[in-house]
Amino acid sequence: MEKRELLYEGKAKKVYATDDPAFVIVSYKDDATALDGLKKGSILGKGAINNRMTNRLMQLLGEQGIPTHFVRELSDRETVVRKVRIVPLEVIVRNISAGHFASRYGVAEGMVFDEPTLEFSYKNDDLHDPLLNDSHALALKLATREEIDWIRACALRVNELLKAYFLERNIRLVDFKLEFGKTADGTLVLADEISPDTCRFWDATTGEKLDKDRFRRDMGGVEEAYSEMSKRVFGGE
């Protein structure tokens, strides 16, 4: 497959056309942003770690019956994925309070929920990704009722699979964000990435944060956290 023109450059990834209109190439950058784009920086080695980790997790989910955009890893940073139109919803699943859940509802981080919570944000940088519910998403025609129901069920299933996967690696999956996309024929698939940029990971023994919060909160040890997560997933591979 041949790489063609740059189609889109986001905060953490670039997307290139290929010679086949059904596929694009994603290229992961080391760039990082936080606090609604106000904080910018770079996390050395992040692009390669996020690329490899996302692909491993997408493959694992695919084997468990979750349709994904993943096609094939090309290199350290580059992967072929199915071309999709991203549904403009950020789907956030939480098992433990943290981040905006804790600040919005005035609770401490670390409250373990009896059941996972699921919320949607409207993926819209100009509006700062506002929280929205099903009926708002329907009113805005961001997705149909059937699509929303399917996305919710799929995200909760992904949570069960990933929670168990990470616990085997002594990691608590605190929360994460998923994005879904639609292929040309209208099929919904899991898209975007699953990485320390988009998940909160806490060491199950020490509680140590092993994700982008170390960057967001200037905690130091950012690169070390990403490479520790890579070690937990890949071991010596």
Min CB(19)–ligand UDP separation in Å: 31
CA–CA gap between residue 73 and residue 31 (Å, rounded): 20
Q: Please name the residues in contact with 28: beta carbons below 8 A apart, sequence gap of 6 or more.
A: 12, 13, 46, 47, 48, 50, 51, 77, 78, 79, 193
Query: Residue with the closest Cβ to ligand UDP?
Result: 99
Min CB(119)–ligand UDP separation in Å: 8
Instruction: Rule CB under 6 A: say whether 86 interacts with ligand UDP.
Output: no
Q: Which listed range, 14-22, 153-161, 194-202, 220-228, lies at the site for ligand UDP (CB under 6 A)? A: 194-202
Which of 14, 82, 83, 200 is close enough to bind ligand UDP by CB under 6 A?
Answer: 200
Instruction: Rule CB under 6 A: say whether 177 interacts with ligand UDP.
Output: yes
Which of 55, 79, 198, 230 is close enough to bind ligand UDP by CB under 6 A?
Answer: 198
Token pair in block for residue 125:
């940088």
Q: Which listed range, 55-63, 96-104, 108-116, 148-156, lies at the site for ligand UDP (CB under 6 A)? A: 96-104
Min CB(201)–ligand UDP separation in Å: 9
Which of 32, 89, 92, 173 is close enough to bind ligand UDP by CB under 6 A?
Answer: 92
Cβ pair 166, 20 in contact under 8 A = no
Nearest in space to 201 (alpha carbons), one of 52, 95, 57, 101: 95
157 or 216: CB nearest ligand UDP: 216
Assign 11 to helix, strand or coil. Answer: coil
CB atoms within 10 A of CB 110: 13
Instruction: Rule CB under 6 A: say whether 100 interacts with ligand UDP.
Output: yes
Site residues for ligand UDP, 113-172, by CB under 6 A, read 129
Instruction: Rule CB under 6 A: say whether 101 interacts with ligand UDP.
Output: yes
What residues does 28 pair with on adjacent strands?
Answer: 13
Min CB(184)–ligand UDP separation in Å: 26
CA–CA gap between residue 219 and residue 75 (Å, rounded): 31
Cβ pair 47, 77 in contact under 8 A = yes
Q: Which listed range, 66-74, 148-156, 197-205, 219-227, lies at the site for ligand UDP (CB under 6 A)? A: 197-205
Q: Please name the residues in contact with 83: beta carbons below 8 A apart, sequence gap of 6 or more.
A: 21, 22, 23, 24, 183, 184
**Where along the sequence are the contacts to ligand UDP (CB under 6 A)?**
90, 92, 98-101, 129, 175-177, 198-200, 212
